[in-house]
Amino acid sequence: MGTRILTVEDDERIRTAVRMALEDEGWTVEEAENGEEALETFNRHPTDVVLIDIMLPGVDGFEVCRSIRRNSDVPIVMVTARADTHDVVAGLEAGADDYLTKPFAPKELSARIRALLRRVRTTDPGISHLKFGELEIVPEEGLVLLHGEEVHLTKTEFRLLVELASSPGRVFSREVLLERVWGYGYFGDGRLVDVHIRRLRTKIEADAANPRHVVTVRGLGYKLQT
């Protein structure tokens, strides 16, 4: 069975047009017109990618995002009204992996979805088992262990951590991380990196406010402390 995508959008015409455009890419599209329906559809039969419009009647997009995130690491793309509002950060903090602003070109959406689908758990065997104190990364199994216990990371968080772990101690700029993890060129949004680093820290750091593993290098980017 091919890739299945759930689109949550209350405007029927947009939903239909986007569905057709995505179907042209060869994907199967499930539709939901509100938050409740989206959760019901997803819980019954989880999809490979979820596209959520933040502005929904009833249960809003943030809540749908959080509910799905509670027991799934499915890639989520959210659609916001504008790029410079708090909506973007709020959506990313609710668990979205990427965002688009309306109106977007369906080609752009397809590109984002393909980038997310490429973000698989396992990586090439070039990186083997890594151990940083109580933190362990087992790339070939897509596993992250803290004090020997598995930590649940989304695919994006996992890719981010593995990218940093590929050269421990090296400083990665936001641009480099955007390109390697999200597949963006120079004009990607640095907030994607910042929010995901923050979320990553809450999962693998004993004290997220004083990180010991993923540290910020002011003005330059982030690095994994050896």
Query: Token digits for 111?
Result: 């590109």
User: Which of 2, 70, 186, 210 contacts other proteins by CB under 8 A?
Assistant: 186
Distance CA 87, CA 133 (A): 36
Binding mask 20-49 for other proteins (x = CB under 8 A): xx--x-------------------------
Nearer to other proteins among residue 106 and residue 142 (C-beta) = 106
Which of 152, 222, 170 has its CA nearest to residue 193? 222
User: Which of 3, 4, 14, 59 contacts other proteins by CB under 8 A?
Assistant: 14
Whether the CB-CB separation of 163 and 224 falls below 8 Å is answered with no
**Strands 221-224 and 214-217: what pairing?**
antiparallel
Binding mask 110-149 for other proteins (x = CB under 8 A): ----------------------------------------
Listed ranges 42-50, 146-154, 163-171, 189-197: which one lies at the site for other proteins (CB under 8 A): 189-197
Q: Which residues pair with 115 in a beta bridge?
A: none
The label of the residue with tokens 């949004």 reads 189
Nearer to other proteins among residue 81 and residue 217 (C-beta) = 81
Q: Which residues pair with 76 in a beta bridge?
A: 50
Residues counted in the chain: 226
Query: Token digits for 20?
Result: 């057709």
Query: Token digits for 167?
Result: 């050269």
When asked if residue 219 is in the footprint of other proteins (CB under 8 A), the reply is yes
Q: How far is the CB of 121 from other proteins (least distance, A)?
A: 31
Cβ-count burial of 169 within 10 angstroms (0-12 exposed, 13-18 middle, 19+ buried)? exposed
Q: How far is the CB of 140 from other proteins (least distance, A)?
A: 35
Listed ranges 133-141, 143-151, 180-188, 203-211: which one lies at the site for other proteins (CB under 8 A): 180-188
Nearer to other proteins among residue 105 and residue 217 (C-beta) = 105
Other Cβ atoms within 10 Å of 49 Cβ, number = 23
Listed ranges 98-106, 149-157, 158-166, 210-218: which one lies at the site for other proteins (CB under 8 A): 98-106
Question: What does the binding site for other proteins look like in residue numbers (CB under 8 A)?
Answer: 11, 13-14, 16-18, 20-21, 24, 81-85, 102-107, 185-187, 189-191, 219
